[in-house]
Structure 1
Amino acid sequence: MSLRFIKPMSPTLVEVPPTGPNWIHEVKYDGYRTQVAIERGTARAFTSTGINWSSTYKQIVGAANDLAESAIIDGEAIVLNEAGVSDFRSLRSAMRWSPGRIIFVAFDLLHLNGVDLRRLPLLERREHLLELIGAGDGMIQYSHHVVGGGADFYAAVDRLGLEGMVSKRPGSAYRSGKTEAWLKIKCYEEHDYEVAGVQRKPGSAPLALMVTRDAERRYVGSANIALTKAMRERLYQRVQAGKGTPPKGADKVEGEWIKPGLVGRVKTLKREAKLRHATLRGIREE
């Protein structure tokens, strides 16, 4: 029987890591969720939505061809930067210019040599995975974990400048879709930026367009608007008044620009040159 793409099991986003010994914790790698399927010495790589990206991940596919007669491996395609940290922007660049830098970090095994492993406990599946790929540092690598100590693990991840962590129930079966048996916790920080405008498109949530609070007023990206009703009304009063101009670096951004002077408190992923997974949480007058 031909192996088909399996919809991934997806962690639920939470604010703080779980406590207690009945959780294992892994690094959350900053890349593209990827599924590698192997059949009769030929491997294929799929995106999280089932699109065949084997031509994009040629080196990964080549390294996977001889791992098993058949297997489905779940993991993340990443690129490591100079500090040895997974870097999403470097991954996007490598996909076009240097695909040999892309590696596959595997964290789950769904099928192996004709056997469906999804009903097995997570730790048992991971034991089979480690036996299959080994603990080396080649094109396909194993995602190591620790047992318990979620708060300490999060502190270490944050200190190392990583995107976050994923916590999993060690006895969990693999069930496609979102689950609370897997949790993801990201490393955020909050900063003040100037609100330069708002982007409103039919069918999409409105976004606040943010710039630096200096003479340069450099565009740093957009943030989802998570304001109280009163704050949201104040923001849209500013938008209706208009009188703003596109800031530096936002020449291709469609926005309704407002007059300078409105400061926004933004929660965003740490150590990013521009806003990522950001939310506007408060506003005040300069």
Structure 2
Amino acid sequence: MKRVINFMGIRSVAFACTVILTVLSLGSLAIKGLNFGLDFTGGTLIELSYESPVQLEEVREQLAEQGYPEAVVQSFGATTDVLVRMPSDDPQLGVRIAEALDSEDAGNAATVKRVEFVGPAVGEELRDQGGLGMLLALGGILVYVAFRFQWKFGFGAVISLFHDVIIALGVFSFFQLTFDLTVLAAVLAIIGYSLNDTIVIFDRIRENFRMLRKADLIENINISTTQTLLRTLATSISTLLAVLALMVFGGENLWGFSLALFVGVLAGTYSSVYIASPILIWLKLTREDLIPPVTEEVDERP
């Protein structure tokens, strides 16, 4: 048999690191909170059309020079269409934005195509629905894993997913990075990614319970994690490289999304090994837990 890595030998140290990071994240969320973007707080959306293609970075710099540093600038369809979002409910803001941009670049005039206002009530509804969707996703995962494996596996999987989400949210809270709908989508993607990694290890643990008759639970977990290590590293590294490329070349609009995924993939890889599996040890999982209960047949003949 190949060399088995003693992952569980440092589970106490890993648990201490987990507690520290989780407490820091929860503390930051309680004290600083999240820096919600316009998707949640409300604001004005302005669609502009230029006569010729324009660079988004130039538009951001022009707006900052004109006193609008908080403006969020995005491409919208063609290279001549630009979407500007700002935390304001002024109905004349669109006209002033177009005038400010025209004064900076008279050779490429900007025309206002539409101005829409998203109220705080809509933003609060989006925020509440997003949080509810996340809780429903975690609840569904608990039921699925408990049904496919056993409730102890389901509990370990959900706790590790909570850890991943809290760490990702803690990073955005501590550095006060903008939390918008794209970041929320990334958080939901983290849940799916981390669960997939955890399921692979859990499946191998269950198989090894049948194959390794003399191995105890800790030895089983070490063997199972070692057997799936190459698969875990290959998946994590390839995903991190893709997300890193997105962070570098995806532009400002996708930076928060890619950062949340980057943090989530790291946290998910860690939690699959040092949170989900140790919980099985603390819950004292046994081989008998995986044996389906025997139902007694009742003889109904007279």
* Structure (1 or 2) with the greater helix fraction: 2
**TM-score, normalized by length of structure 2?**
0.26
- So what's the TM-score if we normalise by structure 1? 0.27
Query: Which of structures 1 and 2 has the larger relative contact order (alpha carbons within 8 angstroms, sep 6+)?
Result: 2
Pick the structure with greater CA Rg: 2
